[in-house]
Amino acid sequence: MILNKKIWSWAIYDWANSAFSCTIVAGFFPIFFEKFWSNPDDVIQSTFQLGIANSASSIIIAILSPILGAIADRGSARKKFLFTFAFLGAVMTGSLFFLNQGQWQFAIVIYILASVGFMGGNIFYDSLLPNLAEKDKVDYVSLLGYSLGYLGGGLLFLVNVLMYLYPDWFGIQDSTMAIRISFVTVGIWWATFSLPMFIFVPEQKVENSVPLFQATRIGFVELKKTFRRIKKMKTVVVFLSAYWLYIDGVDTIIKMAVKIGSSLGFETSDLITALLMAQFIAFPSALLYNWFSKKIGVKNAVFIAIFGYALATFLAFFMETRIHFFCLAALIGIFQGGIQALSRSLFTRLIPKNREAEFFGFYNMLGKFASVIGPFLIGWITLITGNIRFGILSILVLFISGGFLLSKVDFKKGEEEALNFEK
């Protein structure tokens, strides 16, 4: 397919903000939190603290998501909200540079605000997708965004890793300062590569658009109506329930994998190497997953990805060696982009016209409420058992139950429900 400027500009935002999910969420923040801001001698406590931080940010955005979506749809303000959240995320990420050793409380607060910026921005980023591509192209465009995200996030992370391993090359005094500087580079990268999206991606104007204050009031009213109506859209309810469960497992692994590896005693260099490997495997895998999904069907492709994650989770319980960790990282890399992108494109099939941001608000709300459970579950189970392996194994139930519910989703029926939403 021929990709135009607006599609590339939309996809480049994934390149921009994925630096946060890669370098910060999955990479340096968990390591730096344990070794520098928290107590390096108590990995059980630091795991619990990090789990609470991830859960708190998810709770905040989960509460805000449907309300913000409803407001944005009514006021044609999706890009404005996206800009606000992206700005918040980029500034807070860069602010991590200024925190000193032992200031774990401040680290958590700033990390929560940055995460809210990242997750909140994605609500409005996702909601722009249905108007950019035709129905038969939306899977590819969604996967393109994720693949560019893995590539862009991976490239900056590679530079940050080199800064960490060889600070002398960059004129940096030590590895600790290299990590702190990496926080600044992520903020700048995020802000800079967001510009094409804000400049070139049009926002479809809503008929009878109203000012922000009025949109807020109407948004609350419409949200209440949507809650009542969505109960009648049984397909949406079942899909979101499935997504709520299995994406919890995905997000938890992304956020906690490096922290888990560190707690199990793996060297920081090995953890970073594995994360880089997963990132660059995920880039071509996300694009290839489009071809794969066309061969076996999008829904079946998501099933395969869920199984891959479940297998990785089960095997992680027995993880002992660095080779084992590398193999699991590669397995995650194969399926990560596919499960996220195809879940997003599947949901676009179920959305009534002109309700994109509002419905993606629900979508992200459930996804983030799910993200509350996973990190907290790992932290809590680890805390009460004193063994992080049991915390890892607890995530398996999320993939099993999510896959089961997904098998019950009839997407043809869901498309009909979307067409009859206002009738």
pLDDT tens column, 74-107: 656 778 888 999 999 999 999 999 988 878 888 8
CATH number for region 5-199+211-419: 1.20.1250.20
Question: Of the ranges 75-84, 169-178, 284-293, which is most confident?
Answer: 169-178
Q: How far apart are CA 333 and CA 286, in angstroms?
A: 9
pLDDT band at 222 (very low <50, low <70, confident <90, very high): low
Q: How far apart are CA 180 and CA 177, in angstroms?
A: 5
Q: How far apart are CA 176 and CA 74, in angstroms?
A: 47
**Residue type, position 58, single letter:** S
Q: How far apart are CA 143 and CA 348, in angstroms?
A: 13
What CA–CA distances, in Å, run from 232 to 70, 223, 236, 368, 420?
A: 19, 15, 9, 23, 11
Q: How far apart are CA 367 and CA 402, in angstroms?
A: 12
The residue behind tokens 């910026």 is 117
Q: How far apart are CA 329 and CA 337, in angstroms?
A: 13
Quote the pLDDT of residue 1: 47
User: 5: which 2 tokens?
Assistant: 């400027």
> Is pLDDT at 321 greater than 70 in this prediction?
yes
List, for residues 381-413, the tens digit of each pLDDT value: 877 887 778 888 888 888 999 999 999 988 888
DSSP secondary structure letter of residue 194: T
Quote the pLDDT of residue 371: 64
Q: How far apart are CA 18 and CA 145, in angstroms?
A: 10
Give the count of alpha carbons within 13 A of 421, CB side only.
22
User: 304: which 2 tokens?
Assistant: 């395969």
- Cβ-count burial 302-312 (b if 16+ within 10 Å, e if not): bbbbbebbbeb
**Residue type, position 18, single letter:** S
Q: Under 8 Å CB-to-CB from 180, ≥6 apart: which residues?
A: 96, 97
- Euclidean distance between the first and final Cα of the chain, in Å? 35
User: 384: which 2 tokens?
Assistant: 């009460």
- Boundaries of every domain in the chain: 5-199+211-419
Q: How far apart are CA 119 and CA 369, in angstroms?
A: 12
Quote the pLDDT of residue 186: 96
Exposed/middle/buried for 1, CB within 10 Å: 0-12, 13-18, 19+?
A: exposed
Give the Cβ contact number of residue 194 at 10 Å: 24
Q: How far apart are CA 207 and CA 200, in angstroms?
A: 21
DSSP secondary structure letter of residue 38: S
> Is pLDDT at 350 greater than 80 in this prediction?
yes
**CA 238 to the chain's CA centroid:** 21
What percent of the chain has a predicted confidence (pLDDT) above 90?
A: 19
Mean of per-residue pLDDT scores for the chain:
81
What percent of the chain has a predicted confidence (pLDDT) above 70?
A: 84
Helix (H, G, I), strand (E, B) or coil at 423: coil
The residue behind tokens 């089961």 is 404
Select the more confidently predicted residue: 178 or 375: 178
List, for residues 235-283, the tens digit of each pLDDT value: 888 888 898 889 888 888 876 777 677 777 777 778 778 878 887 787 7
Contact 339, 253 (CB under 8 A): no
pLDDT band at 311 (very low <50, low <70, confident <90, very high): very high
pTM for the model = 0.71
Quick one: the chain helix, strand, coil %, rounded to 5? 85, 0, 15
